[in-house]
Structure formats: C-alpha cells, structure tokens
Amino acid sequence: MTSIPPTFRAGCAAALVLSLAACGGGGDGSGLALTGSNNPAPAADTPKAEPSVQLSGTAATGAALASATVAVKCATGSGSATTDASGAYALKLEGGALPCMIKVTGTQGGVEVTLHSLAEAGTTDAASATTSAAANATPLTEMIVAQLSAGLPADLFTSFGTASGAQVTTDKLVAATNAVLTALKEATGIDLGAIDPFKTQLVAATTSAPDAGNAYDKLLDALGDKVALESLPQVVNQIASGATSGNSGSLGEVMTSVDQGYLPGCPVMVSGKYRLVDFFGRTNVRQIDFKAMKFSTLDSQAPYDITADPAKACEFVAADAAGTAARFTFVMGSSGLGSYRTENLQNGKTSIGYIFPQQSHTASEFTGEWRMLHSGAFPDNTPIVFEHVVGKLNFQADGKADVCDYDYATLGTCSPDTEANLTFVSRDDGGITLNSGAAQAAVMYGYRTPNGAFNVFGTTNPDGLNTPQTEQTNFVLTKPQATVLPAVGFTVKYWDVSFNQAGANRTTSVAADINTTTAVSGDVETKTRTSDGRVTDVRNNYPLTGMRYRAPGAYTSIYQFPIPGTSVGVSINSAQTSQTQSHVYVISVNK
C-alpha cells in the first residue's frame, strides 16, 4: 500500500473538517452530532460591563450654589465636577463603588461655603453595571453628616475610603437624619415631612429665577433665616461635639440655639451655652439667647439684658436691668473663641477672661504634649503677687502626666517637676481633672474650633475663691505652630482685652485698634498702631517656635502666644515683675 506523506494527511484532515463545517448547517443537526454529543462546543465569551457609579444632585442653601467645585471620594474611586447655574452636578466614576462622600466648595453672597453629603445606596442597572445614586449638598446634609460621623464633616472627607466608608450605612444615615430633623422641628418648627435631604429632588432658586425653588428649597430658606452661612460652621461644630460625647440632649440644645439665632451683625456669635474662664480661675457655663437678648446668671436672679451697638460688630454688653450688680463686655473672634471684661459694680473689682462654646471631650482627646502658659495670683510667691509660668504639660495615654517649667528669662531650658505625681481623668462636665497625688491640682476644658484646631483652657480655682491661701490662676494649653510673617501693607483690626496690675491699682479695658505692617526683615515685623502711631518691632518664632517677642524699649518687653486655629493671642510681660511693677496679661482678638 502506498504510504501517504504526513503533510498530505494533515491537509486532508483539514479539508475534511472544513467540508463538514460547511455542510453542517443543513438543518438536520448532523453538524452538531459530529462534534460529539458529550462535548458541546464552547459558547463565545460575553464581555462583562465594568462596574461604575453615576452620581448626581443639587448644591443649594435656599439659593443655588452655582459654579461650585464638586469633589467626590468613594469606597472605590474618586472624581470631580462643577455645578451649573442651578446648582446641579453629575459625574460618572468608572470602576467606582458606593458609599461615596461629596464635598462642594463655592461662594454665595460673598461668603465662602463648604457643604458635604453622602450617597450610601443607589439603583443598579444589570446590563451596564452602573449604580445611580443621588446626593444633594445643603446645610441640612452638612448637619446630618456631623451627627452621623460624630466629627467634623471635613475630617471625614479627608480620610474617606474603604475603611471610613464602612460607617456609612443606610441604617446609620437614616438614624442621623431622623435625629437632626426631629430636633430641628421641635426647636424651630421647620418640618421637612417626607423630604429626604439627600435624595429628594431639589430645585433651587437662582439669580435669574429667584422664585423658582421647590418646597425643599423653601425649607432651606426658612433654615437660612435662622442659621446664616457664617453661622453654619459653628452650628455643625457643636452638633459634632455633642455626638462625640454621646449626650442625647445635646442635639436638642444645639437646635434650640439655632432657633434663638445669633448676635445681630455677628453671625459667628451663635446663641447657646458658653463656658467662661477668667484670669483668676473662676469658670462657669452661661446661656446666651440673642432672640430674647438675655444672658443667664449663676443663681436665681433674673438674666442680664444684652445690648449691642450696631456700629461695633461682634461686641456686646450684658448687665443687670438696674445697672448696679455687674457688667460684662464681650468680643468674639471668627473661630468662636472670644474674650470678655467683667466689672463688679458694687465693689469695683474687675477681671478678664475667655469665652467659648461649651463642649465635652474625653480624656483621650487631651493626650500629647502641650505648651503651657500658667498665669495669675500665686499665694506663695511674695513679694511677687502675680506671676507667669511657661512650660510644657504632657498628658500620656496611660492617664499620667508630667510637667516642666522654662527658665523665664530665656525660655531656654524646661526643668521637669519630678515631684508633681500628676494624673488626669475625665469629668462629668466634659473636661478633665488634673490631680497631684490625691489632691486636685487643676481643671481643664477643651475647645475645638470649626476648623478642627483643639486648644485647652484651665484653672486652679474653678469656684473663684478669693482668699490669700488660694492659688487663683488660669492655664492656656496649645500645640504651637510656626508663625508666618505678613506682607508689607497687611492690616489687622483687633480688640485688646487687658489686665494690668501695678501695685495696688488694677486696670482692665476693652480697646479696638488697627495694626499695619510697614516693614519685614528676616523674622522681624515692623508695625504701626493706628490709634497713636506707635511703631514696634516684633520678632517671630522667638524665643520658641510659634511665639512672638517685643524687645524692651519705650514699652514693656512682651512675649506673645498665638492660639493656633483661632484669631486670638495672649501677650504677657517677658520679665517677671515685683509687687510694685506692672504685670501684663492681654488677650487680643482679631475682628
């Protein structure tokens, strides 16, 4: 038998397969049978659609937030967009996955506005694998995000991702929404009914159509009548603080403050509970109601009347109706931290102090190393009646603390106090107690500003005792940041709230003024004061980072301690004083 060459055999086999394939479609199924009934031909692969998230919504405050920047972070994926004239935005994140957090930044009426929102669930189209979700961004969503996260919305956005997104569930979002809307309705009468602040369609009024807003938008108008855009960060800050502390009544108190409004001409000064800490250590909490223009007293006496001069924004006076008991003069900075002068109209004594919204903070929030300014009347330092101590106080994670004091003349060496035996614990009123052995040494209270800065104010004399044996002092604890020199021509308007002890004469005052930077050389700023033309040179980040120093000359040499994240600073005499010399403590609040 004649052999068949291998190449020919392969060619014949190929031809046979081709011919069978060509004939197999004849209709009797024989082509399928030839492949083998137990080995069906594989089906062609169908490409799977890539999962994606389609987000849309409207940013508004009662008016559309037009041309605003939209930034989005999701459990997977991120993106950006810009709102249109109606405040609407839309974007698609290929490969994205819920939940997502939205940040909208813009301006309205000359005021910078930042709003946050959340999208935790949506509707998925199986064919395209696209999940569509809605997320409006409004002052209400900003409040709800603070309640849900028990923190500042900006902090949640910064860290948002797979891990942090796990706390954003439908159940948690519904609970936070219900809590905020219920408290708002009970305090103000603003009732959203069935409106979901995140998902309900929002049609906002615009410049070209000021009456076009739908029912949701009109409710935002009603909220805006009580919470100005400048007030919103402070309100949100207090919601976050209350949620952190777990105080179930705190949210209701915040919404009551919303209903009571803010100081006319000063939206950053919102009604509510404020803590006062004075130079001699007395501390208490007062209720301020700008709707009724009342300032609560510490006892059963009638509240003091509040009066304000429209020409002096963010400054007001509280005094008894007869004008015979006491008078407080308050000034407030943009961060919610301010100062005051108090006058006892019966004995003529005066003092100054700090005022900030009441907040609760756990002991763990105080941990870390702090720069310490400790000032006031010490009972054991005759002939020096008043004194300043600059040092460092370190709260450790195990509940212990250690302290050191700087050599005051140079602030060069911080000497540890090895016998202090300090520990600290949380207090029921939202602060901490600092103990030395078994004895209470001081009480401390924290204030977190709307921008997240955390500073501490304390006292060795919380009851305000006035005896020779009592240490009547206050603390300011900060985590210093390097100061930045301003440009030539920079001006700052401010109040000085001053305590000046010289011998037996004590004077305090509240004085408004303006400083203008006229020269900058190295780390030295030269500035001129408007009221009297006084020119001073101030050295920055000296003798310690974050401090300022004015050398002695025609005026007392000064150390200044800016309080980070606020518009407030403290100035003290840089040389210790005797009983007959001037003791300076000035709280400066920028307008």
In CATH, the number for domain 261-357 is: 2.40.128
- pLDDT band for position 502 (cuts 50, 70, 90): low
Kindly report the number of other CB atoms within 10 A of residue 321's CB atom: 10
Q: How do the domains of the chain map onto residue ranges?
A: 52-245, 261-357, 363-478, 491-590
**More confident of the two residues 35 and 444:** 444
**pLDDT digits 0-9 by tens, 258-291:** 999 999 999 999 999 999 999 999 999 999 999 9
User: How far apart are alpha carbons 184 and 203 in whole angstroms?
Assistant: 22
CA dihedral 419, 423, 429, 430 (to 10 degrees): 120
Q: What is the DSSP letter of 191?
A: -
Taking only the tens place, the pLDDT of each residue in 335-384 is 999 999 999 999 888 999 999 999 999 999 999 999 999 999 888 766 55
Q: How many alpha carbons lie under 13 Å from residue 445 in its C-beta half-sphere? A: 25
For residue 315, give Cα distances in angstroms to 55, 321, 344: 44, 19, 19
Contacts of 219 (CB under 8 A, 6+ apart): 190, 192, 195
CB 354 within 8 A of CB 339: yes
Q: How confident is the model at residue 10 (pLDDT cuts 50, 70, 90)?
A: very low
Would residue 207 be called left, alpha or beta, if left means φ above 0 and alpha means ψ between -120 and 50 degrees?
alpha
- Of the candidates 257, 101, 154, the residue with the CA atom closest to the CA atom of residue 565: 154
| pLDDT > 70: percent of the chain | 89
Same fold, 261-357 and 363-478: yes
The strand pairing partners of 263, in sequence order, are 266
> Could you tell me the pTM of the whole model?
0.89
Cβ-based neighbour number of residue 372 at 10 Å: 22
In contact, 74 and 93? CB cutoff 8 Å: yes
What's the rounded Cα separation, in Å, for the pair 288 and 308? 13
pLDDT of residue 494: 98
Task: Give the list of residues 6+ apart from residue 428 with CB closer than 8 angstroms, or none.
Answer: none
Which CATH class, in words, describes the domain spanning 363-478? mainly beta
The answer to whether residues 590 and 568 touch, using CB atoms and an 8 Å cutoff, is yes
